[in-house]
């Protein structure tokens, strides 16, 4: 009995992303493909390799652009990402518009009133993220400044960003095209004397651990399901190779979730009393005995004055802010730690597991365990 001929699949990436390669290779193992990923590592145009199919991302080198456009006309091709190259082939992408809306909601939850979006490209993902961000802000009654500096690697990019910041009000909520640009923005802002997150709250995109976890200021970021997208793209290519046709050539994945870190871990207060009260809450949020009366006593004012100043500055109550702080701390523990739900409730100052679960359900419309499983 003749063995079925193994398919020869070429991979060409515009950027080296381990999760994308992992998704491609996981499907290739199941399908018993022969893979050629040498162009990924050698940065070479694979002119001398005959392939049955092509898996690619957007590329930006013109020699690779020409090669992919030619190959897409000759062999089955599937694109991972938005169709910036106008290949008109099946593609798998993330809901970039929703990513922008998620960033806006997070910054609005921190009581920000001034916003900017920082990008270095006109690619579809960047524009869609901006449009989602701007749309959600306008629904809440706010506008957004679009900061565009083509190529963050060019000379003077840091100085350019510092000049833009000098014209912006404090505090400012900033959403950036990706995590690398978020790190660059934090570096430039710090050099200009801005404090992160007190003066500048930054949200990135991609949730690249190497960038988000280990910089001077850990970066809040929205994750994209790159590996799942890549696996689905490979499955679509396999279907094309088998002669199947698609009713839908465009598959859209939802983002993986927002991972809050230090770069946004501050409520955007302006009044000194409110800032002192928030600092007290931040330092003592683990204490279940901490309430609005205790905060007022720490700040040396009456409970009525504390509530009045919070309403004037943040249009909310001290206890609403304290609850958000505790939930933010709990979410971080749910995502990054292996602690039991009961221990998290106690560590975050909820007093009891029941109190924690009821508060979480009311705010998130799901239990802590459901929320944790969804992020996984």
The two three-digit tokens of residue 68, written as one number: 């992919």
| pTM of the entire predicted model | 0.79
| The CATH fold of domain 8-93+226-252 | Rossmann fold (3.40.50)
Judged on CB neighbours under 10 Å (0-12, 13-18, 19+), 86 is exposed
| The CATH fold of domain 272-375 | Arc Repressor Mutant, subunit A (1.10.10)
Architecture of the structural domain at 96-224+259-264: 3-Layer(aba) Sandwich (3.40)
328 pLDDT above the threshold of 90: no
- CATH topology match: 8-93+226-252 vs 272-375: no
Domain spans in the chain, listed from the N-terminal domain onward: 8-93+226-252, 96-224+259-264, 272-375
Distance between start and end Cα atoms, the chain: 44
326 pLDDT above the threshold of 60: yes
What is residue 2's predicted lDDT score, i.e. its pLDDT? 44
What is residue 75's predicted lDDT score, i.e. its pLDDT? 94
Percent of the chain with pLDDT over 70: 96
What is residue 364's predicted lDDT score, i.e. its pLDDT? 85
pLDDT band at 334 (very low <50, low <70, confident <90, very high): confident
């Amino acid at each position: 009995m003749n063995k079925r001929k193994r398919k020869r699949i070429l991979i060409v990436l515009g950027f080296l992303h381990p999760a994308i390669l992992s998704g491609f290779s996981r499907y290739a193992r199941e399908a018993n493909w022969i893979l050629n990923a040498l162009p990924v590592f050698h940065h070479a145009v694979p002119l001398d390799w005959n392939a049955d199919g092509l898996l690619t991302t957007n590329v930006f080198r013109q020699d690779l652009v020409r090669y992919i456009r030619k190959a897409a006309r000759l062999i089955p091709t599937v694109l991972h990402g938005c169709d910036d190259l106008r290949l008109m082939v099946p593609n798998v992408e993330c809901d970039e518009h929703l990513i922008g809306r998620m960033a806006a909601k997070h910054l609005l939850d921190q009581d920000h009133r001034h916003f900017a979006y920082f990008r270095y490209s006109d690619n579809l993902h960047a524009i869609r993220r901006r449009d989602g961000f701007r749309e959600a802000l306008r629904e809440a009654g706010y506008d957004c400044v679009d900061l565009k500096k083509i190529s963050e690697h060019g000379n003077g990019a840091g100085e350019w960003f510092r000049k833009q910041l000098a014209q912006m009000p404090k505090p400012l909520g900033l959403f950036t095209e990706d995590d690398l640009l978020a790190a660059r923005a934090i570096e430039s802002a710090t050099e200009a004397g801005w404090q992160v997150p007190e003066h500048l709250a930054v949200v990135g995109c991609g949730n690249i651990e190497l960038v988000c976890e280990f910089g001077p200021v850990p970066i809040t970021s929205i994750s994209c399901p790159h590996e799942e997208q890549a696996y689905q793209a490979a499955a679509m290519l396999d279907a094309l190779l088998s002669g199947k046709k698609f009713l839908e050539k465009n598959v859209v994945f939802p983002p993986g979730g927002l991972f809050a870190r230090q770069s946004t871990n501050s409520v955007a207060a302006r009044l000194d009393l409110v800032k002192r009260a928030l600092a007290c809450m931040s330092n003592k949020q683990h204490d279940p005995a901490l309430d609005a009366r205790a905060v007022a006593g720490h700040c040396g004012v009456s409970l009525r004055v504390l509530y009045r100043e919070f309403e004037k500055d943040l249009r909310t109550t001290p206890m609403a802010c304290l609850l958000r702080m505790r939930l933010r701390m709990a979410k971080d523990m749910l995502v990054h730690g292996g602690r039991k739900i009961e221990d998290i409730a106690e560590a975050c100052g909820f007093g009891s597991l029941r109190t924690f679960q009821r508060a979480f359900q009311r705010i998130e419309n799901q239990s802590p365990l459901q929320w944790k499983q969804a992020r996984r």
